[in-house]
A and B are shown apart, each in its own frame.
Chain A
Amino acid sequence: MADNKAAYDARAKRFYDTIALKKTDRVPVVPFAEAFPIRHYKALMKDVLADHALMDDLWYRFHDEFQPDVGENPYFLFSFFNVMKVLDFKLLKWAGHGLHDDSAYQFVESEMMPPEDYDWFLADPSDYMFRRMFPRVYGRLAPLANLPTIAASYYFFTPFIWAALADPAYADAGLALKEAAAESIKTLTSFGNYVQKITQMGYPMTIGSMAQAPLDVVGDYLRGIKGMLVDLRRRPEKLLAACEKILPVMLDLGIGGAKLSGIPVCFIPLHKCMDGFMSQEQFEKFYWPTLLELIRGLVAEKIHPYLLIEGVCDQRLPVMIRDAPPGMCVYHLENSDIFKAKKLARDKVCLRGNVPISMMVTGSPDQVRAYCKRLIDEVADGGGLMIDTGVNIGDSKSENVRALFDFCREYGVF
């Protein structure tokens, strides 16, 4: 146990010192596991999604075998499907639920908020979520669409609401919520137990909360990517107003979650940041300002923003690095040029990445080692780099994952 405590402290120090751009004993090796333990130990995705104990066991084995420098948490990605199934969630398909039994889960892209709904959303986002979005994304909560607005429930006129609930359609919605509550408690209890065990095993959890860039919230969950992209020209004021409305919600989520978990890192995956989606001018007007406010708000609370920068964002990075509060952020690059980015990021931002996922899935251990060597030689440079792949190691060949860990732990000593 004392050994585990010492290992925990060493890993945590290595992780946080690297963010602070300090020189550490060696480069942290932290490939985001995603579905890799499921593939590597030959379990079936469908079984893992349904059975938290099975999932926990695979992840304990992964830590024992590969000894990553941070604790991996499968709960964010693989634990909520029992709850989603109860509610008949429409925005995802997963193994055994619209996809084959061993498939990764996949997002169902759609325009959930038609353009004429902007004003409703802007006037009262909570009412919009409750009476418009929930009925659309959760099949069993469809009756909520017919409830009168709660915002008008002043004084003693609430019987209009209670009477509306007498409609038999609400009986099943009520039952669905009861079942979802029970499943949620089950899931979150195992979540807590898992975190406790991994911590005792000597691995610090390093994601304390999650938030998103406000424009990504619009593009992912409200207008859909097509709707959001045409709004850049058709409804620029509404789009900006929506981002402003979402910003405080994201700040609450990022700060609140980090405080609750006691882990001062907020994960922010960026989806519509990439170079090709919009012009640089549009990026600097619509995407970056509210994301930067989110970053600054987190940093003011001493929370590290950890941005997963998906796709190629070579044109965006100079601005994103220029504005970053020094020594506080992690930028995880997927396919952007990390070698070029390092030249700008040296005294500003810790980089994370970026062995190409295509190489991990189809390449050889020699190729992986050669790429990691170049990363350590050119990007680690005394600190400020965490070794990871472009996104995660989910479908990687086991021998490539082994090569990545072994090589970097040995060659990455400063």
Chain B
Amino acid sequence: MSVLRLFPEAATPVLDPHERAHLAALASLDLMTTSRLVALQAGRSPSEAFAIASGEQQPTEPIAALFARNAELRSRWRSSAKRNQPQEVGARCEEHGVSVVAPGDELYPPQLDGDPRRPAVLFVQGDASVLDARRVGIVGTRNPTRRGALTAERFGAELAAAGVVVVSGLALGIDGAAHRGALAASAAPPVAVVANGQDRPYPKRHAGLWAEVAEAGAVISEWPPGVAPEPFRFPQRNRILAALSELVLVVESRERGGSLITAREAGERGIDVFAVPGPIDQRSSVGTNRLLADGAAPAPDVETLLVALGLDHRRAGRHRVDARAQPDTDGVLALSLLHDRAQSIETVARQLGWELGRAARALVVLERDGWLVEVGGWYESTDPIGAGSRCDS
């Protein structure tokens, strides 16, 4: 697939392996940021820049000014340059199957070329060319409801099945669920944008998922192996995640959170933001509902996203055969309460005016048949949002 490059004459020439290792080493220095990396490389090759950063050469402007403003920077760079010699960093990258991709490279995502805060280097595990396909970013809270997670999983699966690359952040909660769904579809491969080096999967619990995503698609980071997931790196990661997506879907979000940063970054780049509507009194939907009020587009189902991408949506959303036993009369009544929110035996009994035993029987049977899941006494529907009323039809 040929790609129209916005800046075909990009200043940076294609780097040889030696320079590439220096670039990786530069990115692994303490206190390194995107703008400092850009400043260091202004008019210099990575090896020249590394000589300055490591103190072997006297700094010239604008680095001298940078050092003058921040006294700590000089010593931290010098000491961390000792620990991160180009050969070592290069070897580390090789060890973890990470390729160093610089602007101007064939593999450098063209979507980032024109970005106002273009990453000066990317570290890619897997195959970055999968980004040539259509791409949707799915983000959300790390602490979702069960339904939220299932919704993300379903969106991930159905988008992937329609040939859309799911871009997400491998975080706990929504991110992970979206990746899992995309992987389960075994169609379009998923892409993860992460905030730390690829030597240490973070969060640890997603190490397996991380490896699967890298195997099937790609795991992309702005930072080389050895860089820790420090908190300030996550908002930075979110901008890349947004920039790589054609549209961003927020599944569940609190009033504050990283997914809202991603949504804002997307908005600044003219990328459409979609949000899954949720109950107005549910904490994990406050952020998404706010987005909707602020003008984001509602995403009640996958078809909406496919239409927005201009894809043939009729292929998607094939009705899978539902093998679950049909609920009995009590089950249907109870399930009707569970379409929009979690319920307990007590709340179901109260709303339907039933004895506790009757409500318990209805919910336990529904859970057994796969209509509900129970966590901590709360029963949640297993039908993702937007697929809710299938049992009625």
Bound pair (A, B): no
- Give residues in A with beta carbon < 8 Å to B: none
